[in-house]
Amino acid sequence: MELRLTVAGEPQPKGSLKAIPAKNKDGTLRIAMKNDNPKTREWQDLMTFHATSQMRGEKPWEGVVMVNAYFLLTRPRTHFMSKGKLRNDLIVEHVDKPDLDKLVRCVLDALTGVCYVDDCQVASVCATKAYSDFSNFPGVSLVVRGM
Note the pLDDT tens digit of each residue in 73-97.
998 877 878 877 777 787 788 888 9
- Beta-carbon contacts of residue 131 (< 8 Å; ≥ 6 apart): 72, 73, 74, 75, 79, 90, 92, 93, 94
Taking every pair of C-alpha atoms in the chain, what is the biggest distance, in angstroms? 62
pLDDT at 51: 97
Enclosing domain of residue 43: 2-146
Domain count of the chain? 1
Distance of CA 34 to the CA centre of its chain: 17
Residue type, 125: V
3-state secondary structure of 49: helix
Per the CB < 8 A criterion, the answer to whether 98 and 10 are in contact is no
**Percent of the chain beyond pLDDT 90?**
62
Instruction: Name the pLDDT band for 18 (thresholds 50, 70, 90).
Output: confident
Q: Rounded to whole angstroms, how far apart are CA atoms 44 and 12? A: 8
Which CATH number characterizes residue 54's domain? 3.30.1330.70
Residues constituting the chain: 147
State pTM to two decimals: 0.85
How far apart are alpha carbons 80 and 90 in whole angstroms? 10
DSSP 63: S
Pairing state of beta strands 2-8 and 139-146?
antiparallel
Checking if the pLDDT of 37 tops 90, the result is no
